[in-house]
Structure 1
């Protein structure tokens, strides 16, 4: 049956992996939630060339400054999030706004209120698959 997830539990990492090259349909309610911290959780679907993630952030949740080889698009579905660039620029995004981050652009984030953010990455987030995403867990 299409849309079923293969769950892999690797110490603290839970993620979903698309295993076939055919189309698939998913329901976010069925995707396992990875509680990264008390104020931050995510649901993830990995494709062959892309990763999509749904983050839930409590007001005040911070994602420390980091960068990655993946291009990133972040869409705020609810709430408000501040993105802080390494050069000091700040962008406040509210519901319906999208942030584009090219590969290797250093950035941090701060939830200004309880928020839900959908992130799309290309290529896929192999670091998340391997559990080497400690910047999200502290």
Structure 2
């Protein structure tokens, strides 16, 4: 079983540059769960994609136009959304901000 350290701090958790104005920090995880913080510059995109993970996302700051399947909605700080497995989804950052993602199982490609 893989597992992160028990505690993560903002200062000690490195930001990974994933390009196109998006960075992420990987927080706690094990085989079944992963918490990730993603920082977007205004205009940055989370390009449309799909994966086998369930995903729940909390909008910590900023605003985003989010597409999930055939639905599109603008979400802002304090909002959230859910993405079922294998559903095409993505976002466009309208106002610089941070998304907090939870994935189940963990995202092997983020480690």
Provide TM-score, normalisation by structure 1: 0.73
1:28 aligns to 2:14 (yes or no): no
User: Does the C-alpha gap of structure 1 residues 96 and 122 become closer, same or farther in structure 2, counting only changes over 3 Å?
Assistant: same
Higher CA-based Rg: 1
> Which residue, out of 112, 121, 128, partners 2:103?
121
Bigger RCO of structures 1 and 2 (CA < 8 A, at least 6 apart): 2
| Contact 1:85–1:107 under 8 Å retained in 2 | yes
Say which structure is richer in helix: 1
| Contact 1:78–1:115 under 8 Å retained in 2 | yes
> Which residue, out of 51, 54, 76, partners 1:94?
76
Say which structure is richer in strand: 2
| Contact 1:81–1:109 under 8 Å retained in 2 | yes
Runs of 5+ in structure 1 lacking a partner?
A: 1-16, 130-138
User: Does the C-alpha gap of structure 1 residues 126 and 46 become closer, same or farther in structure 2, counting only changes over 3 Å?
Assistant: farther
Q: Distance in 2 between matches of 1:122 and 1:86?
A: 19
1:18 aligns to 2:4 (yes or no): yes
Which consecutive aligned stretches of 4+ in structure 1 deviate over 4 angstroms post-superposition? none
| Contact 1:46–1:124 under 8 Å retained in 2 | no
Runs of 5+ in structure 2 lacking a partner?
A: none
Cα RMSD for the two superposed structures: 1.5
Task: Report matched runs for 1:1-138 at 5 Å.
Answer: 18=4, 24-37=6-19, 39-48=21-30, 49-87=32-70, 89-129=71-111
How far did 1:46 drift?
A: 4.7
